[in-house]
Amino acid sequence: MRFILLNPGPVSLSEGVRRAATRVDLCHREPEYFEVQDQVIEGLLDVYGCDSGQWAAVLTGGSGTSALEAMMTSLLPAEAHVLVAENGVYGERLSRIAAVYGIRSQALRAQWGEPINLDALDAQLATGEFTHVAAVHHETTTGRLNPVAEIAAACSKHGVSLLLDAVSSFGAEAIPFEEPSLMAMAATANKCLHGIPGLAMVLCRREALQQEIEPRGLSLHLPGWAEHQARQSTPFTPAVNAVLALAQALAELRQQGGWRARRARYMELAARVADTCRELGIAEWIPAGESSCVLRSYHLPVDLGYDELHDGLKQQGFIIYAGQGDLASKLFRISTMGEISDRDMARLEQALKTVIAG
Ligand SMILES: *Cc1c(COP(=O)(O)O)cnc(C)c1O
């Protein structure tokens, strides 16, 4: 059975990307591979028009979390003190990474789903105690889009650097690369970029890679990967097939009009799902204007448990996603990333009506 994935990554692939992943068998020490690696690095910088003199795109292998881990462990000096903005699972994960590596951090905590308190952020930064802020752009726990432009502006005002989890926003939401405070952002191939899983990446300012920081690990050490990638090399075996797929996915993103066009498409699909749910008496968890274009969360229907809803939709070929932690009994999530046609959407609308209204 063909499934349409409405979970927040991995996504349903286009035929072109699916084919590209297994197009050819490549040795990662041959020029044919490095040609594709170079294309992907250039393509990643191109998504938001980043100047390659100032910015580097560094590829590593792994999940989105490994991109976050690579970013934090490679770019935070020993004396860093990080303020972590938390309002969901992924903000808390940033704090967890800091704790695991003994990086000094403090949380600026909001309830899951609540907005980040920007006044409190400003006040904390005004104390002069913090060297860095770590924040999540799109908090996939609830679909809330955190105000990254305002967060970056507060960091710039206080001379603090920002490390951004853009795992579920890179390729589909505005990212303030022009803000001097934005030092680095982490992403993955299998969310808004529509590639296959296995490839994690960090876009960072070149000067961030040149800091003299004692490596905290080997395989996630970004300066090592970057140094090799700059001279058509690789320190370890890369996710070759994921790189092949991402080259094609980036070409398709370009052909489709870039991140702004992708955002518009996601917005349209999210609105269609929300309209259908509203007709069925199901309210959104976060107001539409504060949600990302990527994912929305909805109150579970009173007379239908998550498992019934999930299984009913799965029978019709759609995979939705549960809430995390305490939210598991309260909400469900629908992401409209990935290759989803208008026909798929019409079928989804019908499936929601059948499963929910019975
Ligand atoms: C998906 C996601 C991650 C990474 O998750 P992995 O399971 O490690 O790929 C990190 N942050 C956000 C905001 C995400 O949506």
In this structure, the residue with its CA closest to atom 6 of ligand 1 is 64
* Pocket of ligand 1 contains residue 61 by CB under 6 Å: no
Q: Do 199 and 239 contact (CB within 8 A), yes or no?
A: yes
d(CA 192, CA 249): 10
Read off the tokens for 84: 């972590």
Q: Give per-residue pLDDT as tens, 279-304.
A: 999 999 999 999 999 999 999 998 99
In SS3 terms, 215-252 reads as CCCCCCCHHHHHHHHCCCCCCCCCCHHHHHHHHHHHHH
CA of 47: how far to CAs of 134, 188, 230, 263, 348, in Å?
22, 14, 19, 13, 30
Q: For residue 3, give both structure tokens.
A: 């499934």
The residue assigned the tokens 């960072």 is 204
CATH number listed for the domain at residues 15-255 = 3.40.640.10
Q: Give the 3-state secondary structure of residue 303.
A: coil
Q: How many Cβ atoms sit within 10 Å of the Cβ of residue 66?
A: 17
pLDDT at residue 321, as a whole number: 97
- At 333 the three-state DSSP class reads strand
pLDDT in tens, 201-214: 999 999 999 999 99
- Does the pLDDT of residue 43 top 90, yes or no? yes
How much is the pLDDT for 4?
98
Report which ligand 1 atom has the smallest distance to the Cα of 140: 15
Cα 33 from Cα 289, distance rounded (Å) = 43
Q: How far apart are CA 251 and CA 192, in angstroms?
A: 13
pLDDT score of 239 more than 90: yes
Q: Read off the pLDDT of residues 78-99 as tens digits, 9 standing for 90 and up.
A: 999 999 999 999 999 999 999 9
Starting from the edge strand earliest in sequence, which strands make up the sheet with 104-109, in order?
55-61, 199-205, 182-188, 161-165, 132-136, 81-86, 104-109
Backbone conformation region of residue 232, classed left if phi is above 0, alpha if psi is from -120 to 50, else beta: left
Predicted pLDDT at 1: 82
Q: What percentage of the chain exceeds 70 in pLDDT?
A: 100
pLDDT of residue 298: 98
Provide the pLDDT for residue 339. 97
Mean pLDDT of the chain: 97
Structural tokens at position 39: 């294309």
Minimal CA–CA distance to 91: which of 75, 104, 109?
109
pLDDT for the residue numbered 68: 98
pTM assigned to the model: 0.98
Within 78-145, strands assigned E span 81-86, 104-109, 132-136, 138-139, 144-145
- Centre of ligand 1 to C-alpha 298, Å, is 20
- In Å, how far are 21, 255, 305, 322 from 284, measured between CA atoms? 36, 32, 17, 14
Please work out whether the CB of residue 195 comes within 6 Å of at least one atom of ligand 1. no
If residue 297 lies in a helix (H) or strand (E), which one and from where to where?
Answer: strand 295-299
Q: What is the pLDDT of residue 358?
A: 78
pLDDT at residue 26, as a whole number: 97
Matching fold, domains 4-9+258-357 and 15-255: no
Residue having the nearest C-alpha atom to atom 9 of ligand 1: 64
13 C-alpha to center of ligand 1: Å?
A: 18
Q: What is the C-alpha radius of gyration for the chain, rounded to an integer number of angstroms? A: 20
The answer, yes or no, to whether any atom of ligand 1 lies below 6 A from the CB of 64, is yes
SS3 177: coil
> What are the backbone angles phi and psi of residue 194, rounded to the nearest 5°?
65, 30
Is residue 238 within 6 Å of ligand 1 at its C-beta?
no
Mean pLDDT of 153-172: 98
**Residue 118 scores a pLDDT above 90:** yes
- Residues 306-342: pLDDT tens digits? 999 999 999 999 999 999 999 999 999 999 999 999 9
Q: Is the CB of 298 under 6 A from ligand 1?
A: no
Residue-level pLDDT at 141: 97
Kindly give, in sequence order, each residue whose CB lies less than 8 Å from that of residue 6, ignoring residues fewer than 6 positions away.
Answer: 318, 319, 320, 321, 334, 335, 336, 348
Q: Which two tokens stand for residue 256?
A: 């489709």
Domain boundaries, the chain: 4-9+258-357, 15-255
Q: Indicate whether residue 8 lines ligand 1 (CB < 6 A).
A: yes
**Cα(63) to centroid(ligand 1), Å:** 7
CATH class of 4-9+258-357: alpha beta
- Give me the residues paired with residue 284 across strands: 298
What pLDDT does residue 324 have?
95
What's residue 178's pLDDT? 97
Question: Which of the listed residues 11, 60, 63 should we mutate to test ligand 1's pocket, taking the one with most ligand atoms within 8 A of CB?
Answer: 63
In terms of Cβ atoms closer than 10 Å to its own Cβ (0-12, 13-18, 19+), residue 56 is buried
Please give the distance, rounded to the nearest whole angstrom, from the Cα atom of residue 172 to the centre of ligand 1.
Answer: 15
Position in ligand 1 atom list of the atom nearest CA 136: 13
